[in-house]
Amino acid sequence: MQTKELLGLYQKDVKEGIRIGKIQIIISFFYSFFLIGIFSVYLPLLATGVGKNHITTIVLSLINYMPFIVIFSMMFLGNSLIQNLIAREKTKKTILPLLCLGIKPRTFWLSKLISVFTISFVSAMISIFIIVFIVLFLDYGAIVSHVRLIILNIVFIPLFPLFFMGLSGLLYMISLKFWPVSLLFMTIPFFLLPYWNKIILKNIFLVIGLVIIGILLIALTGYLAGRVSREQLSGVFEQT
Amino acid sequence: MKGENKKMKYSIYIDNLSKKYGKLTALNDITLGIEKGEFFGLIGPNGAGKTTLIMLVLGIIKPSKGVIKVNGVNPISEFSKISKKIGVILDYHALYDELSPLENLELYSQITYGFKNTNKIKELLSFVDLWERKDDRIREFSKGMKQRVAIAGAIICNPSILIMDEPLNGLDPESHKMITDLLIEVNKERQMTIFLTSHNLHDVERLCSKVAIIKNGYIIKHDYVSNLKKAHSKKIFLINLLEKNSQVKTEQKIRKNEYLKKMYWKDNNNFIIELKDKVYLNSFIQELLNKQIHINEIKEVNNTLEDVYLEIIQNEVG
């Protein structure tokens, strides 16, 4: 394991990711709160009507949609950033000096993965803390009764987008032609949306099951990343 | 054993190397030896196979056939033994534009030494005269400045071999001079073997002791620059006339000479001639004297690597 090399690359990738991903970070916040507004506050209010219990409705909707916000925010930011970081390494050929310094494909993949995970996780957690703050302000008791869900958000849910970031990174290491796949991954939260309240949230075991499958798939992706050849990773023969 | 000793003196040893991409043969039976501490130039037209050869030497791509040894080891199967011993500089200055020179070098330092070697980073950024700009973003830099950062990045690991693909492309004259001076210093004082590709043959002539000319995947010449220039001497002489003559009349007399290939005036008293062969010089002079053209001095004009290259490339069929 190239620990020191990984640390150096990780620090570089976080700095570079934040600097090149400012617009994606802003978009991610904007959409997170826009979606919260539309799907978790406006639509329920429209359905139930504005009455005495509208604060309770808003609070519950906000809490229920927290996992969705985490997944959406991390899927969008993580996939777009990992795609951007790897594409830059390949098109600007910065990968070549790294390969000459002995960086292994798996170290390269891991560094990209944990750096974009860090950025997207922090970004998602900022959204979550804003929601928690709003809920605390509206109904303190609701937070206490939903501690389990909040912990689920922070600990388990991020592992699900982590797998897609890892897969996206792996595909990009093989070829930049896989860019539509990352776009596809970014749309996954929208497929989840209609079933969110009805099925997924009521089925904690389904969520945990998905997370366990996610962890196994991350390990498999990591194994495959180590099998990518230096030739594929260098991108020397890719049309750029 | 004798063959092994021969390989030991080379930093890069290539024997019967071929690379095919499907039906296309990019390199064909290349054999080359680059000695330790040598400044070696690989020249050839676009698409000749220069970058493919560099990628093979770096162990990035695998050969279809043949042997490559870099510092005595196979760069594909034993790359870990030579990693951090090869520096690479490319014409597209492979740097992280959104980071500063300091941050770029910190990355290479962390990978090479396992920590941010601030003394080394300061030494190198001062060496390329960019310490004052260490915190600015690379994207704000000119091409010459970026290339200087790339040199600092490439030598941070004290490599024994520096591989450069068109490093002097598109530089302004000041940056060009600064970078060529840096490369000479790196080669002489740090005793690095340098493998350079360039289209600028004046640079190659100035910097390299040995060159190989590559065309359509074949090495068509491989020798010391001085040997190539001697072997492909174009038999060019500068003739200084004793007295001022009418250029038109003199030229009319000279042009009739059967040994002459080309002539042109440099100024009123001096003209350049190219003979069909060097051995005809005495006969040529005698004929001038017979025609009452009196010569003060004859100097052999050294032809440039560019002359040699063009002659070789143009004469090479295919």
Strand partners, B196: B41, B164
Residue-wise pLDDT tens digits, B108-136 = 999 988 888 899 999 899 988 899 999 99
What is the structure's pLDDT at A158?
A: 85
What is the structure's pLDDT at A234?
A: 87
Which candidate, A55, A68, A46, A85, places its Cα nearest to that of A165? A85
Q: Is residue A239 part of a domain?
A: no
Nearest chain A Cα to B162, which residue? A100
Nearest-CA distance B250 → chain A (Å) = 58
What is the structure's pLDDT at B64?
A: 92
Which candidate, A170, A166, A162, A167, places its Cα nearest to that of A211? A162
Which residue shows structure tokens 């009455």?
A: A51
Q: Is residue B43 part of a domain?
A: no
B123 or B243, greater pLDDT: B123
Q: Is residue B97 part of a domain?
A: no
- Lowest mean per-residue pLDDT among A166-180, A213-227, B192-206, B268-282: B268-282
CATH number reported for the structural domain that contains residue B255 in this entry: 3.30.70.100
What is the structure's pLDDT at B253?
A: 82
Closest in A7, A93, A237 to B94, CB measured? A93
What is the structure's pLDDT at B131?
A: 93
Q: Is residue B158 part of a domain?
A: no
Q: Is the pLDDT of residue A199 over 70?
A: no
Contact A97 B55 (CB under 8 A): no
Sheet containing strand B39-43, strands side by side: B86-90, B161-165, B193-197, B39-43, B210-215, B218-224
CB B308 within 8 A of CB B228: yes
Residue-wise pLDDT tens digits, B40-76 = 999 988 888 888 999 999 988 899 999 999 988 888 8
What is the structure's pLDDT at B162?
A: 92
Q: Is residue B259 part of a domain?
A: yes
0.80 surpassed by pTM: yes
Strand partners, B274: B236, B262
Contact B111 A5 (CB under 8 A): yes
Q: Is residue B269 part of a domain?
A: yes
Query: Per the structure block, which two tokens stand in for B307?
Result: 């002359």
Per-position b or e across A110-137, b if 16+ CB within 10 A of its CB: bbbbbbbbbbbbebbbebbebbbeebee
Residue-wise pLDDT tens digits, B194-228 = 999 988 888 898 899 999 999 889 999 888 988 88
Q: Is the pLDDT of residue A102 over 60?
A: yes
* Mean pLDDT, rounded, for A76-101: 91
Which candidate, B225, B232, B178, places its Cα nearest to that of B206? B225
Residue-wise pLDDT tens digits, A201-210 = 667 777 778 7
Distance CA A134, CA B32 (A): 71
Report how far apart, in Å, the C-alpha atoms of A116 and of each of A13, B198, B309 are.
8, 38, 50
Q: Which residues of chain A are within 8 Å of residue B80 when distances are taken between CB atoms?
A: 102
Share of chain A above pLDDT 90, in %: 32
Q: Is the pLDDT of residue B152 over 70?
A: yes
CB B162 within 8 A of CB B87: yes
Q: Is the pLDDT of residue B138 over 90?
A: yes
Q: Is the pLDDT of residue A51 over 60?
A: no
Q: Is the pLDDT of residue A226 over 60?
A: yes
Range of the domain at B291: 234-302
What is the structure's pLDDT at B1?
A: 46
B169 band by pLDDT with thresholds 50, 70 and 90: confident
Cβ under 8 Å to B: A residues 197-236: 230-231, 234, 236
Q: Is residue A45 part of a domain?
A: yes
Strand partners, B12: B34, B70
Residue B141 carries which side chain, given as an amino acid letter?
F
Nearest-CA distance B272 → chain A (Å) = 47
Averaging pLDDT over each range in A142-146, B116-120, B228-232, which range is the top one? B116-120
Contact A100 B58 (CB under 8 A): yes
A40 band by pLDDT with thresholds 50, 70 and 90: low
Distance CA B29, CA B217 (A): 8
Nearest-CA distance A89 → chain B (Å) = 8
Contact B79 A11 (CB under 8 A): no
Contact B107 A11 (CB under 8 A): yes
CB A14 within 8 A of CB A111: no
Number of domains in chain A: 1
CB pairs < 8 Å spanning A and B: 90
Q: Is the pLDDT of residue B175 over 90?
A: no
Nearest chain A Cα to B76, which residue? A230
Using the Cβ of A103 and the Cβ atoms of chain B, whether some distance falls under 8 Å is answered with: yes
What is the structure's pLDDT at B234?
A: 66
Q: Tell which of B102, B107, B116, B156 to mutate to test the A interface (max A CBs under 10 Å).
A: B107
What is the structure's pLDDT at A184?
A: 84
Which candidate, B224, B225, B221, B219, places its Cα nearest to that of B66? B219
Q: Tell which of A5, A7, A100, A232 to mutate to test the B interface (max B CBs under 10 Å).
A: A100
* Mean pLDDT, rounded, for A200-220: 79
A47 band by pLDDT with thresholds 50, 70 and 90: low
Q: Is the pLDDT of residue B4 over 70?
A: no
The answer to whether ipTM exceeds 0.95 is no
Pairing, β B65-70 against β B161-165: unpaired
Residue-wise pLDDT tens digits, A103-127 = 999 999 999 999 999 999 999 888 8
B137 band by pLDDT with thresholds 50, 70 and 90: very high
Q: Which residues of chain B are within 8 Å of residue A98 when distances are taken between CB atoms?
A: 111
Contact B110 A101 (CB under 8 A): no
Q: Is residue B213 part of a domain?
A: no
Q: Is residue A240 part of a domain?
A: no
B250 or A203, greater pLDDT: B250
* Mean pLDDT, rounded, for A218-229: 93
Nearest chain A Cα to B56, which residue? A231
Closest in B21, B59, B84 to A101, CB measured? B84
Mean pLDDT of chain B: 85
B310 band by pLDDT with thresholds 50, 70 and 90: confident
Pairing, β B218-224 against β B260-265: unpaired
What is the structure's pLDDT at A106?
A: 94
Residue A21 carries which side chain, given as an amino acid letter?
G
Contact A101 B157 (CB under 8 A): yes
Nearest chain A Cα to B96, which residue? A94
* Mean pLDDT, rounded, for A156-161: 82
What is the structure's pLDDT at B243?
A: 74
Using the Cβ of A238 and the Cβ atoms of chain B, whether some distance falls under 8 Å is answered with: no
Nearest chain B Cα to A235, which residue? B60
* Mean pLDDT, rounded, for B7-19: 86
What is the structure's pLDDT at A201?
A: 61
Q: Is the pLDDT of residue A236 over 80?
A: no
A50 band by pLDDT with thresholds 50, 70 and 90: low
Number of domains in chain B: 1
Range of the domain at A57: 3-234
Nearest-CA distance A215 → chain B (Å) = 28
Q: Is the pLDDT of residue A6 over 80?
A: yes
Q: Is A101 helix (H, G, I), strand (E, B) or coil?
A: coil
What is the structure's pLDDT at B318?
A: 46
Nearest chain B Cα to A105, which residue? B60
A57 or B11, greater pLDDT: B11
